[in-house]
A and B are shown apart, each in its own frame.
Chain A
Amino acid sequence: MTTLPLNLRHRRGAALGAAALIALLLLVLPLAAGWLGPAWVRTLAFAALYVMLALGLNIVVGFAGLLDLGYIAFYAVGAYTFALLASPHLTENFPRLAQAFPGGMHVPIWGAIPLGATIAAAFGVLLGAPVLKLRGDYLAIVTLGFGEIIRIFLNNLNEPVNLTNGPQGITLIDPVRIGDFRFDRTVSFLGVHLTSLQLYYYLFVALAVISVLVCVRLQDSRLGRAWMAIREDEVAAKAMGINVRNVKLLAFGLGATFGGVAGSMFASFQGFVSPESFSLMESVIVLSMIVLGGLGHIPGVIFGAVLLSVFPEVLRHTVGPLQMQLFGRIVIDTEVLRMLLYGVALVAIMLYRPKGLWPAPQHGVAASPDPAPPPRATPRG
């Protein structure tokens, strides 16, 4: 037992070292990717966005055990919230608003992020309230329907009042601005030129790091334990005095918050949103990220999100040219191949690593450092 503090100190040192290394890597990565081409920086920025999405969905599915197939709806809500508040769309369609905001609506980031988060959280609770009693497959079907309803609303709310501009989507969305600092221009900093893409990358990574911190803290809290208790055994959780209804609603609300923030960032990054970005396929991909990485295990979830968001880009840059070389033409479109490989990967995961590529460590008797086995050897039953 005397070795424990020393062991802990050693571990803390190792963790600090690893964190420093990761921080350095995250800082340098976009510069390196910049050499390869802007598409790679863009992919990395999206990877950071997907990390946020995956962490948010992980609260609902991984921590609280509530299967949600419509998560992308909250991403859409966040994106459209920002799009409406920071584009000429509303002032063009509603003369009253144009009078109120003669210079157009340009909500800054410190207004847009909390607002996107709050509205998405409200939608999360809105979805959560009617499905409190549902579990498993039934819950999955209802959430899937919810995701589709949001998308269909966005697609059709261009009349009688033009709120979302229908399938054309909303354009001319403001880039992120913090004070006078704009993210849509190249800046020079200590002799290093940073493109707009690289700036966005840093912003998204910063938000992703905050998300990780929030998730870790929630996981290790009283609330995190309550979520896991509900996931493991809802009846026993109730018997421990956990108000299952409130705790589930909190999971839906907080999970949606992450989607909302990621969505508002997406809208400003793209400068354009349309309903087709928020299809069921996107929900499925985010879910695949956390299942593939390791449901409920934060490092696994991050790993899964990065892997699945970088993978298509890698595929595009390798398989396309390879096919050209081998056959002189593209035999299988990379998009088709990507879906095929996703399917194969998920089946393989289910078969060989059902807890994901990087699951939470198991603390079984076999792995126990305790030399004395439990004295009472009793058969189960």
Chain B
Amino acid sequence: MARDLVLHVGGISKRFGGLQALHSVGVDIERHQIYGLIGPNGAGKTTFFNVITGLVRPDAGTFELDGRAYEPTSVHRVAAAGIARTFQNIRLFPDMTVLENVMVGRHVRTRCGALAAILRTRAVREEEAQIRSRSSQLLDYVGIGPYGHLQARTLSYGDQRRLEIARALATDPKLLALDEPAAGMNATEKTELRGLLERIRADGVTILLIEHDVKLVMGLCDQVTVLDEGRIIKVGAPAQVQHDPAVIEAYLGRAHVPA
């Protein structure tokens, strides 16, 4: 049976000076999956993430999104191709309003240029109305609808995470790539985040999740890849991965591997 792959990347290598950060790494993400990428600190998770989103140029690798090859040569092209990302340390547009933040996300799916904006043509007015209504829908969707008029910087930490996700969703992504979305969240917020991610998946968006929080990953993901020292040491369902000796060794050291 042919698998319906959203992201199909392989053979990605990246060397930073004397450090081989990635040794021929690849993942296959099926549609409607929540795909987890875990590994101890320095395993190469973020480098991998930066490579597929175009922030870091790889030395080698093949890239396919939704059955079509894409070149991760610049960040904005990758976003246009259909991968939207969030950042480990939240990167919002702090002085813009919450609604405007999401409206920026619509940029890549809208067309009107400077001259049309100056003349405020009918096309511009219609497009603006669409951008606005879609953006406020997304705010409601992630649960921060009432705060649209506030400046993004005034939101609580958890709400800033939600806003970042709403902004990424505004680009109509085929793949939503989240870099440690649960970092710094308390237990309640993590539960809420989990609910949100499950809802996003149910609504047809595939998710790639990089996460430190093993509990969250195990509970949420359909498939997990474990990286260690730039190599893939295990791919499988969460339950399989959890009991794999190589994974336990990578996280806890050889002494903890059951004999």
Binding site for B on A (CB under 8 A): 214, 217-218, 220-226, 228-229, 232-233, 235-244, 250, 254, 362-365, 368, 370, 372, 374, 376-381
Q: Specify which of B92, B118, B158 is in contact with A378 (CB 8 Å cutoff).
A: B158
Tell me which residues across on chain B come within 8 A of A250, comparing CB atoms.
114
**Complex: how many Å from CA A229 to CA B171?**
15
CA distance A238 to B104 in the complex (A): 11
Q: Which of B107, B155, B188 makes the CB contact (< 8 A) with A240?
A: B107
Closest 10 CB pairs between A and B?
A241-B108, A241-B79, A221-B117, A232-B93, A236-B91, A238-B75, A229-B104, A378-B157, A365-B154, A364-B154
How many angstroms between the C-alpha atoms of A378 and B105 in the bound complex? 26
Q: Is the CB of A244 within 8 A of B76?
A: yes
Cross-chain contact of B85 among A214, A239, A363, A368 (Cβ < 8 A): A239
Chain A residues contacting B159 (CB-CB under 8 Å) are 374, 376
Contact B149 A376 (CB under 8 A): no
* Complex Cα gap A228–B79 (Å): 19
Known: A218-B118, A221-B112. A240 touches B87 (CB 8 A): no
Residue from the set A221, A226, A233, A370 with the largest chain B CB neighbour count within 10 Å: A221
CA distance A232 to B167 in the complex (A): 15
B171 neighbours in A (Cβ, 8 Å): 240-241
B15 near A: Cβ within 8 Å? no
Q: How far is the CA of A365 from the CA of B151 in the complex (A)?
A: 8
Chain B residues with Cβ below 8 Å from A226 are 104, 107
Within the complex, the shortest CB–CB distance from B130 to chain A, in Å, comes to: 11
**B107 lies within 8 A of A222 (CB):** yes
CB atoms of B76 and A229 under 8 A apart? no
Give Cα distance in the complex from A262 to B107, angstroms. Answer: 31
Name the residue among B107, B147, B149 with the largest chain A CB count within 10 angstroms.
B107
**Does A236 contact B108, Cβ atoms closer than 8 Å?**
no
Task: Using CB atoms, name the residue of chain A closest to B120.
Answer: A217
Of B95, B120, B156, B185, which is within 8 A of A374 by CB? B156
- Cα separation A242 to B186 with both chains bound (whole Å): 33
CB contacts (< 8 Å) of A363 on chain B: these are: 97, 149-151, 154
Judge whether A222 and B120 touch: CB under 8 Å.
no
B135-175 CB contact bits vs A (8 Å, 1 = yes)? Answer: 00000000000110111001111110000000100010000
Q: Which of B44-80 contact A (CB under 8 A)?
A: 53, 55, 74-76, 79-80
Q: Are B146 and A370 in contact (CB under 8 A)?
A: yes
**Chain A residue with the shortest CB-CB distance to B124:** A221
Q: Is the CB of A214 within 8 A of B92?
A: no
A220: B residues at CB distance < 8 A: 128
B108 touches A242 (CB 8 A): yes
Q: Are the CB atoms of B118 and A214 closer together than 8 Å?
A: yes
CB distance from A140 to the nearest CB of B (A): 21
CB-contact partner of B157 in A244, A254, A379, under 8 A: A379
Alpha-carbon distance A242/B103, docked complex (angstroms): 12
Select the residue from A222, A226, A228 with max chain B CB neighbours within 10 A: A222
Alpha-carbon distance between A344 and B240 when the two chains are bound, in angstroms? 70
Contact A376 B189 (CB under 8 A): yes
> Which of A214, A232, A243, A372 is within 8 Å of B95, CB to CB?
A232
Q: Report B189 CB to chain A, min CB distance, Å.
A: 6
Q: Which residues of B contact A233 (CB under 8 A)?
A: 91-94
Most buried by A among B87, B117, B155: B117
B244 at the interface (CB under 8 A from A): no
Inter-chain contacts of B184 with A (CB < 8 A): 381
Q: B104–A239 contact, CB under 8 A?
A: no
| CB–CB A242/B118 < 8 A | no
Shortest beta-carbon distance from B179 to chain A in Å: 11
Complex: A377 Cα to B154 Cα, angstroms: 12
With known contacts A222-B110, A363-B151, A243–B76 Cβ distance under 8 A? yes
Question: A237–B74 Cα gap in the complex (Å)?
Answer: 12
Question: Does the CB pair B189–A240 fall under 8 Å?
Answer: no
